[in-house]
Amino acid sequence: MRAEDRSDAALRPVRLTRRFTRHAEGSVLVAFGDTQVICTASIEEGVPGFLKGKGQGWVTAEYGMLPRSTGSRMRREAAAGKQSGRTQEIQRLIGRSLRAVIDLAKLGERQILIDCDVIQADGGTRTASITGAYVALADAVGCLLREGKLSDNPLREHVAAVSVGIVDGRPLLDLDYIEDSGCETDMNVVMTGSGRFIEIQGTAEGEPFSRDEMNRLLDLAGQGIAELIVLQKQALAAA
Amino acid sequence: MRAEDRSDAALRPVRLTRRFTRHAEGSVLVAFGDTQVICTASIEEGVPGFLKGKGQGWVTAEYGMLPRSTGSRMRREAAAGKQSGRTQEIQRLIGRSLRAVIDLAKLGERQILIDCDVIQADGGTRTASITGAYVALADAVGCLLREGKLSDNPLREHVAAVSVGIVDGRPLLDLDYIEDSGCETDMNVVMTGSGRFIEIQGTAEGEPFSRDEMNRLLDLAGQGIAELIVLQKQALAAA
Amino acid sequence: MRAEDRSDAALRPVRLTRRFTRHAEGSVLVAFGDTQVICTASIEEGVPGFLKGKGQGWVTAEYGMLPRSTGSRMRREAAAGKQSGRTQEIQRLIGRSLRAVIDLAKLGERQILIDCDVIQADGGTRTASITGAYVALADAVGCLLREGKLSDNPLREHVAAVSVGIVDGRPLLDLDYIEDSGCETDMNVVMTGSGRFIEIQGTAEGEPFSRDEMNRLLDLAGQGIAELIVLQKQALAAA
Amino acid sequence: MRAEDRSDAALRPVRLTRRFTRHAEGSVLVAFGDTQVICTASIEEGVPGFLKGKGQGWVTAEYGMLPRSTGSRMRREAAAGKQSGRTQEIQRLIGRSLRAVIDLAKLGERQILIDCDVIQADGGTRTASITGAYVALADAVGCLLREGKLSDNPLREHVAAVSVGIVDGRPLLDLDYIEDSGCETDMNVVMTGSGRFIEIQGTAEGEPFSRDEMNRLLDLAGQGIAELIVLQKQALAAA
Amino acid sequence: MRAEDRSDAALRPVRLTRRFTRHAEGSVLVAFGDTQVICTASIEEGVPGFLKGKGQGWVTAEYGMLPRSTGSRMRREAAAGKQSGRTQEIQRLIGRSLRAVIDLAKLGERQILIDCDVIQADGGTRTASITGAYVALADAVGCLLREGKLSDNPLREHVAAVSVGIVDGRPLLDLDYIEDSGCETDMNVVMTGSGRFIEIQGTAEGEPFSRDEMNRLLDLAGQGIAELIVLQKQALAAA
Amino acid sequence: MRAEDRSDAALRPVRLTRRFTRHAEGSVLVAFGDTQVICTASIEEGVPGFLKGKGQGWVTAEYGMLPRSTGSRMRREAAAGKQSGRTQEIQRLIGRSLRAVIDLAKLGERQILIDCDVIQADGGTRTASITGAYVALADAVGCLLREGKLSDNPLREHVAAVSVGIVDGRPLLDLDYIEDSGCETDMNVVMTGSGRFIEIQGTAEGEPFSRDEMNRLLDLAGQGIAELIVLQKQALAAA
């Protein structure tokens, strides 16, 4: 059995707490079970050099883990003097996922910087980050609309993400850390509110996987993401 | 008037939330008003190279701020590839303050690593960090005692810290960010439960200060720290 | 029409030149059209620290591009003082892909380091790298078998990779640089000789993609990889 | 007894040698006994980015130790690729201390960079640095006045620094290395010619210290700094 | 005897393959026996900051070795995070050598960046690099002339380089790796088409060398470089 | 005329001040006119990893310039986070020059680290460094002999260095900064007491130079180095 009697196709309890800290234009604490990530969205007027004068905006993301968010303490990346390859992969993925649902031309010459900082990790930190970051981004965009800096909402649709994997031959939704460590195949799926894919990253950790197994995992992911998007909408509907 | 009608000699509302995250041996969320810091204590068997074979333990600290813990976003130190001078000063201060109240020989050949990560900043992050880190350290030591790895408590006494400063000629306790930015003199004081000093760092930001002004600041600090230590004791007394 | 009248489902001309340089135990120049990568495999006795004493070997990879392998010169990563996030993602992918087809226990306590250095780039450098690196790895393993250091071949099956993508609504196999720059969806697929997946990385560069589009891309990729594996076998069969 | 029969309240022999090297606008070799530091002041037209257009100047400092200025050779920071936390703390302290006695608006849009390089260390390198750096700064300001680039002296008053500490229960002035290594409490005090404080940094190395002990240390420091300022004035009065 | 019955005053077989890769304005594979280096020349409009507005151009060089260009694998400099002292010495030498034969004022406000990447090493990589880089530079200049961006050829004369050394008391031309490792004296000589010196770097690896030995080495080098310049001219004369 | 009526073949006034600082086993202030360098030699028991167990010692060198040793302030390398290519070239040259005159097997399994720190620069810092470093090295070796750690002197002969160059067509000995900036050819020569070469580095800064010019420069260098070695011997003969 899975922890807390969870069924194979069930998400862990998901919470999306808006206005978690007070400085950022969007600030969300997202929890997928014991995985907890602070996602903030910061608006900066102006764009990076490579976009100057192109009449469009930019959305980018950074990711980090508190050193003791994990079972044994990891080295602090600021002290090590560099971000790991894993960190860079994840923050690039978060940035791509969010840019896929926003019309950068409509955003104008400004940048929204997303920070996802894991304060407690139990598997699925990157999918929780994307799911929470969308809500923070929506709050920051809401700010711009309310202040009259934007007249037209640049967000095209929702985006959320979930992990799926094959553990002991069974396809499971939303793996926790123990499941993730023991899985044969691990897949992170990023989808939109309209049910289309933004990113699929499937990796055989043990045995290579078949086309059929992939299809079963995508079915599970599609269902999970639909549920996550409902939760995002509920969170954003609250005052 | 100070924000929220605070009197000159009053602390902001202080909260010490133990077991804030679940992996670390000690994990405390400390709040001094809107300043919020996650303090964790991680036990590692073994000591750094310079202490090998000396029959004693070690306590050290690292400090960081989430990029958007502040009013405008700061650059992520892990992305910048190095910790600022300010960060290093603060983490060295936290480490020294905690080592001053623990008997490292009694701790045995193990290390306790303190991480103080600011999730929301409104002045006084270093003093809140020291005050919260002591409670996390006490919880980690409690762990070692309960597990029988230590038979004798190596903690000698409490330690807490507070900032004081002169703003528009008035000595104030526990400055918030606005007060700190406008103060003439800024002093961080670290004291023990027995009312003695571990560290005093006083800096004239504007005009140099007189001996008399310093004495009034130390009086305020002494009173504030006594109150903080009462709060630490209440927090640790809870189950 | 595609360049050089290529049909949608056709690979570019592929060459696998073994013994391209003379020092490495395996050294292959792989060309996918104008994309050219030198792949070497270097055997080192001993394993990294995290594997010491576990009775198994390791395969890892590094990737680089010569500064002027591209249309406009890129900054040299050694001069910049760090590898980009893209470089790290690619070298992690190459390493995972190769480890998936080798029995690390059978390899013994030694390491095979793969270096993939792009000398000319025209799209698909990571998939060419994986395809060429497998041949270099097979040559290095052949070395160990001939020298009697291994009695049993640790390679379980072939692995190769190809990119597929949707350009102007058409699914295409093995994108060149111009196609890759203009595609809506870009997918890198890594498969084994037995037709199963090791890694799928699909990204919507423009519009999100549907499940149906993904299926058509995977069909194309499966056919292309089967052809690549035939070419690997021919190359390895030569004296 | 202290080395060379020094009394508890006596400074070591202090020398301030102006024009020690010939390129810098101010260049002073300061000796506090066997501690020797080269302090130079370099004038640069223009200010750092954060001050552009604010109609004021800037004074900042850097600090270093020659690798064999100490009893056993330290690693060269340029070779290590970074400055230690201690180095950064000290150079920030020197900069703050000097800025406290100069009117930056009167200095105009130019910068004075102070370099303090320890060629021989025997305790008190930061206090000797501040004391010598003031003289180098005064010489650089003198240059600007003589050349007519400034009509009005921006220096408001003198600044000097000294260490005090409690060793075997006795308060001592101006600790040498052996005294510093064995002291219970170590305090660095920076004061102006008018007898007010710019910075106080007191640290309990062993036992916490009482308010009474602190008062005795500050008395000693005040007397020592008054003597140092007399020596600065004599040095600057010479041709 | 030397490898492959080479006489003491003979070069290894030298090949200069132009248009080795297709993106760079000049791209040459140079081989001195088993030493093989890809030399590219990249034209960039504009000059580095220190030359802005001086009405002249710049030529600079970078050098690297593929990790397994050598008998045992070297650490990748991009992964190590810095270029070695040896790498920096060599790339500075290549840059100086090329700048000595080009009229930078005639080049106009543009930069030519030379990249020399060793794909196989067997001694003499820096001298092969200079010899090949000249041909790549000449091709890039040819480009500028053909496109009408330059009307006047800024190249004043040829430049080539060779190593000479004393091995077992015998002066030898163009040392391979084994000879280089065992030599008493090693000298790298850079000369122009008119037979004058641009750079001489002679180093006693074992015994110091006499004036007479140096003269014999310079005679050998002069003859070898004259031959290399004939080969450069032949290569550049081809279509 | 040269500064201070110096003739073309004359050294600047040279001073070698032993025991300049007190901690190092050898500590020499060397002055070639206005160029002043502190050279220290530090003995460390043990050798670097690549020499462990080979029964020999090692000598290596580091070089630095104080930021304001020069006419305009240079960036501090420790603050920049890396040593420049020039610094690395010079320190490698100093190390090679000293190793050429010491029998490393006789030195035993210990290391002598040379630090050359320029406190005032006026041309010829690398040649002054080598000349002074030899004296510091001799003092450190003297220490080992006196303490009985060595019974046999590992130093085989003296080594010294000087720069020569062609300025306005005239060969000059020991260039100062102005001469060095304006010279056509610049050559650094390192020679032994027996009049043989350890290193020759000749560079055409402007016009390439002829064999005849080189010979005249080497004549000058040989004479200058003979004079420097007399001065080293006098310095070492003093008590």
Q: How far is CA D51 from CA B57, B207, D88, D219, in A?
A: 46, 21, 21, 38
Q: Give the per-residue pLDDT at C98.
A: 98
Exposure on the CB side of residue A152, measured as CA atoms within 13 A: 9
State residue B87's pLDDT score. Answer: 97
Looking at every residue in chain C, the average pLDDT score rounds to 96
Backbone angles phi, psi at C43, to 5 degrees: -90, 130
Residue A115 structure tokens: 């920070």
List the beta strands (DSSP E) in chain A. Answer: 14-18, 26-32, 35-45, 58-65, 110-120, 159-167, 170-173, 185-192, 197-204
Q: What is the CA radius of gyration of chain A?
A: 18
- For the record, the structure tokens of B122 come out as 């409104």
* Structural contact between residues C25 and C43, judged by C-beta atoms closer than 8 angstroms: yes
Rounded Cα–Cα distance for residues F233 and E59 (Å): 45
Q: Is A38 in Cβ contact with B67 (below 8 Å)?
A: no
* Residue A207 confidence (pLDDT): 87
Q: Which residue has the higher pLDDT, D206 or F16?
A: F16
Please, which chains are in contact with B (at least 3 CB pairs closer than 8 A)? A, D
- The Cα B151–Cα F232 span in angstroms is 65
Q: What is the mean pLDDT of residues A131-159?
A: 97
What's the pLDDT score for residue D206?
A: 80
In the predicted model, is pLDDT for residue E239 greater than 90? no
SS3 E137: helix
Question: What is the DSSP secondary-structure string of F129-177?
Answer: HHHHHHHHHHHHHHHHHHTTS-SS--B-S-EEEEEEEEETTEEEES--H
pLDDT, residue F205, reads 84
A61 touching C, CB under 8 A? no
> Which residue has tokens 């132009």?
E18
3-state secondary structure of F185: strand
Residue D62 in contact with partner chain B when CB distance is under 8 A: no
User: Which portions of chain B are predicted below pLDDT 70?
Assistant: none
| Chain E residues with CB-CB distance to C67 below 8 A | 40, 42, 62, 113, 115
D159: distance to nearest CA of chain B, Å?
A: 11
For tokens 């292309």, what's the residue? Answer: C224
DSSP secondary structure string, chain D? --GGG--TTPPPPEEEEES-SSSSSEEEEEEETTEEEEEEEEEEES--GGGTTSS--EEEEEEEE-TTSSSSPPPPHHHHTS--HHHHHHHHHHHHHHHTTB-HHHH-SEEEEEEEEEEE-SS-HHHHHHHHHHHHHHHHHHHHHHTTS-SS--B-S-EEEEEEEEETTEEEES--HHHHHH-SEEEEEEEETTS-EEEEEEEESSS-B-HHHHHHHHHHHHHHHHHHHHHHHHHHH--
pLDDT band at E164 (very low <50, low <70, confident <90, very high): very high
> Is residue D5 classed exposed, middle or buried when 0-12, 13-18 and 19+ CB atoms within 10 A define those classes?
exposed
Q: Could you tell me the two tokens for A93? A: 């993925």
Structural domains present in chain E = 14-237 (3.30.230.70)
Which residues of chain A lie closer than 8 angstroms to C202, CB-CB? 197, 199-201
Query: HSE of A164 in the Cβ direction (CA atoms, 13 Å)?
Result: 27
DSSP state of F35: E
Could you say which DSSP state residue F209 is in? B
N-to-C CA span, chain A = 38
C129 interfaces chain E, CB cutoff of 8 Å: no
Q: Does F204 touch chain E (CB under 8 A)?
A: yes
String of DSSP letters for chain C: --GGG--TTPPPPEEEEES-SSSSSEEEEEEETTEEEEEEEEEEES--GGGTTSS--EEEEEEEE-TTSSSSPPPPHHHHTS--HHHHHHHHHHHHHHHTTB-HHHH-SEEEEEEEEEEE-SS-HHHHHHHHHHHHHHHHHHHHHHTTS-SS--B-S-EEEEEEEEETTEEEES--HHHHHH-SEEEEEEEETTS-EEEEEEEESSS-B-HHHHHHHHHHHHHHHHHHHHHHHHHHH--
Q: Which of C82, C100, C222 sits opposite A208 (nearest CB)?
A: C100
ipTM of the complex, rounded to two decimals: 0.95
Q: Which helix (H) or strand (E) holds B114?
A: strand B110-120
Which residues of D are known binding-site members for phosphate?
86, 124-126
Give the sheet arrangement for strand F110-120, strand by strand: F14-18, F26-32, F35-45, F110-120, F58-65
- pLDDT (tens digit, 9 = 90+) per residue, E74-115? 999 999 999 999 999 999 999 999 999 999 999 999 999 999
Distance CA F172, CA C28 (A): 55
Token pair belonging to F98: 């000293």
Q: Is the pLDDT confidence value at A225 over 80?
A: yes
Share of chain F above pLDDT 90, in %: 97
Strand pairing partners for C163?
A: C188
pLDDT at E61: 98
Does the beta carbon of D52 lie under 8 angstroms from any beta carbon of chain F?
A: no
Model confidence band, residue E1 (pLDDT cutoffs 50, 70, 90)? confident
Residue matched to tokens 């010169």: C73
Q: Are F25 and F43 within 8 A, CB to CB?
A: yes
Q: Do the Cβ atoms of D96 and B203 come closer than 8 Å?
A: yes
pLDDT band at A206 (very low <50, low <70, confident <90, very high): confident
Contact of E114 with E18, CB cutoff 8 Å: no
- State the smallest CA–CA distance between residue F93 and chain E in angstroms: 9
| Tokens matching residue F25 | 């086993």
CA distance B145 to B148: 5
Beta-carbon contacts of residue F62 (< 8 Å; ≥ 6 apart): D67, D76, D79, F91, F113, F114, F115, F116
Q: What is the pLDDT of residues C18-27, one digit of tens each?
A: 999 999 999 9
Structure tokens of C128? 């060419």
> Which residues in chain F have Cβ-Cβ distances shorter than 8 Å to D120?
21-23
Nearest to E77 among C22, C38, C78 (CB): C78
The most confident of A230-234, D181-185, E178-182, F81-85, by mean pLDDT: A230-234
The pLDDT tens digits for D18-38 are: 999 999 999 999 999 999 999
Q: Which residues of E are annotated as a binding site?
A: 86, 124-126
Q: Do F40 and D68 touch (CB under 8 A)?
A: yes
pLDDT given for residue F1 in this prediction? 83
Q: Which pLDDT tens digit goes with each residue over F164-196?
A: 999 999 999 999 999 999 899 999 999 999 999
DSSP, collapsed to helix, strand or coil, labels residue B136 as: helix
Q: Which tens digits make up the pLDDT trace of C160-205?
A: 999 999 999 999 999 999 999 989 999 999 999 999 999 999 999 8
Residue burial F130-161, b: 16+ Cβ < 10 Å; e: rest: bbbbbbbbbbbbbbbeeeeebeeebbeebbbb
The partner residues of B112 in beta bridges, in order of sequence, read B43, B59
pLDDT (0 to 100) of residue F141: 98
Quick check: D83 and F79 CB within 8 A? yes
Average pLDDT estimate for D54-71: 97
Question: Is there a contact between F88 and E92 if contact means CB atoms under 8 Å apart?
Answer: no
Q: What is the mean pLDDT of residues A119-140?
A: 98
Instruction: Judge whether E153 is closer than 8 Å to chain C, CB to CB.
Output: no
Judge whether residue C239 has pLDDT over 90: no
* Residues whose CB is less than 8 angstroms from the CB of residue E60 and which lie 6 or more positions away in sequence, other chains included: E48, E95, E111, E112, E113, E114
Does the distance separating the beta carbons of D115 and F76 come in below 8 Å? yes
- Which residues of chain C from 161 to 200 reach within 8 Å of chain A, CB to CB? 187, 191-192, 194, 196-200
E50 DSSP assignment: G
pLDDT tens sequence across C74-113: 999 999 999 999 999 999 999 999 999 999 999 999 999 9
Q: Averaged over A146-167, what is the pLDDT?
A: 97
Predicted pLDDT of residue F195: 95
Query: What are φ and ψ of residue D8, in 5° steps?
Result: -60, -30
Distance (Å, rounded) from C-alpha B64 to C-alpha F219? 62
Q: In 10 A of CB C190, how many CB atoms?
A: 30
Please give the residue of chain F at the shortest CA–CA distance from E187.
F200
Candidates D42, D70, D120; nearest CB to F73: D42
E61 touches chain F (CB under 8 A): no
Element (H, E) at A85: helix A85-99
Mean pLDDT calculated for residue range E10-17: 98
Q: For position D123, what pLDDT does the model report?
A: 97
**Cα B165 from chain centroid (whole Å):** 17
Q: Are A28 and A116 in contact (CB under 8 A)?
A: no
Size of interface A-C (CB pairs under 8 A): 84
Contact between B200 and B189 under an 8 Å Cβ cutoff? The reply is yes
Average pLDDT, chain A: 96
Distance CA D38, CA D42 (A): 13
Cβ separation E208–F198 shorter than 8 A: yes
Q: State what percent of residues in chain A have pLDDT above 70.
A: 100
Nearest-by-Cβ selection for E199 from F203, F207, F218: F203
pLDDT of residue D239 exceeding 80: no
pLDDT grade, residue F206 (50/70/90)? confident
Do E210 and F218 count as a contact with CB atoms less than 8 A apart?
Answer: no
Q: Which residue has the tokens 């800025």?
A: D99
Residue C148 burial (CB count, 10 A): 7
pLDDT, tens digit, 9 for 90 and up, residues F43-90: 999 999 999 999 999 999 999 999 999 999 999 999 999 999 999 999
Q: How far apart are CA D146 and CA C235, in angstroms?
A: 81
Task: Give the alpha-carbon dihedral of D82, D85, D88, D93, to 10 degrees.
Answer: -170
- What pLDDT is stored for residue C207 in this prediction? 87
Neighbouring chains of F at 3+ CB pairs under 8 Å are D, E
In contact, B190 and B222? CB cutoff 8 Å: no
How many whole angstroms from its chain centre is CA A111? 18
Show the tokens assigned to E161.
Answer: 């380089």
Q: Check C38 against E66: CB less than 8 A apart.
A: yes
Say if A88 is an interface residue toward chain C (CB within 8 Å): yes
Per-residue model confidence (pLDDT) at position D164: 98
Query: What pLDDT, on a 0 to 100 scale, did the predictor assign at position B205?
Result: 84
Residue E206: pLDDT band (50, 70, 90) is confident
